[in-house]
A and B are shown apart, each in its own frame.
Chain A
Amino acid sequence: MQGKKPSESESKGTSRRQFLKQCGIAVVAAAAYEVMSVMMPGVAEATTSSVPLCDTSCVSSSNQSVPPANPPKCVCTSGCIDSCISGCQVNCTGCIVSSTTAKS
């Protein structure tokens, strides 16, 4: 049995859902409110990128108590600002994203 051909607005809605899902965004809207999940570093990119972006000069001085499910190789949370700027200022977010990506 052939299903109903999706209307233009339905196709648009599907592609938007896919797009937002890829970005890690869920949106719920109603007459009285609109709510959306906020894209966070390491979430959106992890679903779309498979290229390790980790900056090898990034210094890890982890202050984490509980590592994330996929522990990043570099965590840009050095103990003091000087080391961060000298070691991690290239792209902290990218570093963590890529590490997560590499493991996922």
Chain B
Amino acid sequence: MTEINNTGYKISKHLVFLERGADELLLVNTYECKPLLISRGRECVKKLLQAMEGLNRAAASEKFPNDIALFDLFTEHHILIPADKQECDERQDFFPDGQLQPQGISLYLLLAQSCNMACTYCLNGAKTYKKEKIIQMDEKVAFHAVEYFVKQLVSGGQIEVCLFGGEPLLNWELGKKVFQYCEEKLKPQYPDKHIVYAITSNLSILPDDFIDVAKKYSVSVLCDIDGPATLHNQTRPLINGGPSYEQIAGHVKKLIAAGIRVSLRTTVTSVNVGHISEIAKHHKALKGAGCAFVPVNPVNSDEQLLPDDLLPDMGVMLRGITAAYKAGIWDKTKLLPFSIYASKLIPGNRSVLGCGAPYGNTPVVTAESDVYPCIYLVGIEKYNLGNLMDGTYPKLEVLRSMAEDYQVEHRVDCKNCNWRYACGGGCLVGPLTIKGREDATPAVKQYGEDINCRYTKEILEEILWQMALETKEKVRKNEMSPVSDKGTRMNFC
């Protein structure tokens, strides 16, 4: 239905113009996300849009009688919005009740902070993860953590308990106890809350009872395979320097054959960036449940920067993952980052932050029961949210400061960007860990900015075009005359 507005319409300040090919244009108000595809007549439509700004419907109808249907589409899609409408979602307080009340939590338990591999880009710093001490979480901390966060969850909410590390299978006995504790104690006690399980493991080891336990509790597994053996072994050697691929791939196959969901992830570095489609096919051949490409994090938990020569070229990476996406090697709902970024484009979904970490939705609990907001921030003292066992968690001021400083309306690099409510400012790791560091090389600074902004924006663009293409095909397949042919003549173009 056409909105009655006598004061006229203005062009949304969140409008993104995407051009492709000779004559196509995609118009998206990222605050509302109801895109409009101009499949033909780009320049003409742009001129009409400019000319219609300031008019109300009656005036538009009078001035452009043959194009009033287009005016209606502009307003229905929030390309033109009422002149007095404000499109701003600045938050004053992210925790007005003074507490966290998440609807969903991904809880990471660092069961073992040491690892049996020596990946070239490991994000666990030797100092912060106290690797030399071979620290492992104990039962008391683990049980307290799961109970605490299950309790914190709102009724009807869901928690994913993710065994993480280091290498969590080095403390598998505790992992099993955590599942059992959740099943036998927490689920009966909190029947209104959903508990699911996951493990992120290198799978270089596989305990004898892993398959039975994983099946029993429907544990989903995430494992990093950085490509076929020649690529994978360059970045993910065992701790003794030996190759890890054969062992890991063997275990992956074994789990998948047993019916366990194993998603495969690739950390993209300079080593494998030129092989993304090949890796996507490799993951497919291994029969992974999903395939993920994640740009390497340039800073570890000790705040040490990765060498420049390990960072992937952003252009090559984007071209590679886009090619893999378009090639249809994977169903697009199973290819990350596309699968996750698509959800940012749901109409009505506005992101003021790039992820749930500043909301306290992705707590990471260390073996010593310190809590951090994200796995990439573990060990960085200024992001320590307090200790679960001594009762200092949650230091809301840390989350509050992250959320308020980094909400899109407050970020100098975002507040004038038309994309801001679609991307929410992207992944915060770059801005939180690299920005302002004097020891960061220009290359690492640029990379940090790129994974935060360019990467997100280009992935979103690609998804939007893909949706536009699908729409166009749907319309074409049903080949008939246009729905509306009122506008047979243009009096402007």
Contact = CB atoms under 8 A, between A and B. Distances in A.
Describe B's contact surface by its main secondary structure: mixed
Interface string B351-371: 111111101011000000000
Interface stretch (B32-40, B239-247, B272-280, B310-318): B32-40
Given A30-B487, A65-B350, A68-B346, A59 B36 contact: no
B475 A91 contact: no
A85 B350 CA distance: 21
Interface in A48-75: 56-69, 72-75
B84 to A, nearest CB: 19
Contact of B162 (A26, A27, A62, A83): A83
B307 interface: no
A86 B340 contact: no
A65 B362 contact: no
Contact of A82 (B352, B375, B468): B375
Interface string B283-321: 000000110101000000000000000000000000000
B89 A38 contact: no
B362 A61 contact: yes
Contacts of B58: none
A68 B464 CA distance: 19
A18 to B, nearest CB: 10
Nearest to A87: B160
Given A41-B343, A65-B352, A77-B355, A82 B69 contact: no
B157 A30 contact: no
Describe A's contact surface by its main secondary structure: loop
A29 interface: yes
Contact of B194 (A23, A28, A33, A56): A56
Contact residues on A (Cβ < 8 Å of other chain), bracket = 35 or more
Given A86-B222, A93-B343, A28 B70 contact: yes
A89 B362 contact: no
Given A40-B467, A77-B351, A79-B357, A62 B103 contact: yes
A74 B342 CA distance: 14
Nearest to A39: B471
B337 A36 contact: no
Contacts of B103: 60, 62
A74 B488 CA distance: 45
Contact of B44 (A33, A36, A88): A33
Nearest to A82: B200
A20 interface: yes
Contacts of A62: 102-104, 356, 359, 361
Nearest to A31: B488
A77 B347 CA distance: 14
Contacts of A76: 339-340, 343
Contacts of B33: 40
Given A35-B37, A37-B35, A85-B263, A80 B357 contact: yes
Nearest to A58: B158
B41 interface: yes
B250 interface: no
A16 interface: yes
19 contacts: A38-B464, A38-B467, A39-B471, A40-B35, A41-B346, A42-B347, A61-B106, A63-B355, A64-B351, A68-B346, A75-B343, A78-B106, A78-B362, A79-B374, A80-B375, A80-B376, A83-B198, A92-B333, A93-B333
User: 10 closest Cβ contacts across the A-B interface?
Assistant: A33-B41, A60-B104, A79-B362, A68-B348, A29-B482, A30-B487, A83-B106, A79-B356, A61-B356, A61-B361
Interface of B: 26, 33-42, 44-45, 66-67, 69-70, 73, 76-77, 89, 91, 102-106, 108, 156-160, 162, 164, 194, 196, 198-200, 218, 220-222, 263, 265, 289-290, 292, 294, 333-334, 336-337, 339-340, 342-357, 359, 361-362, 373-376, 407, 424, 464, 467-468, 470-472, 474-475, 478, 480-490, 493
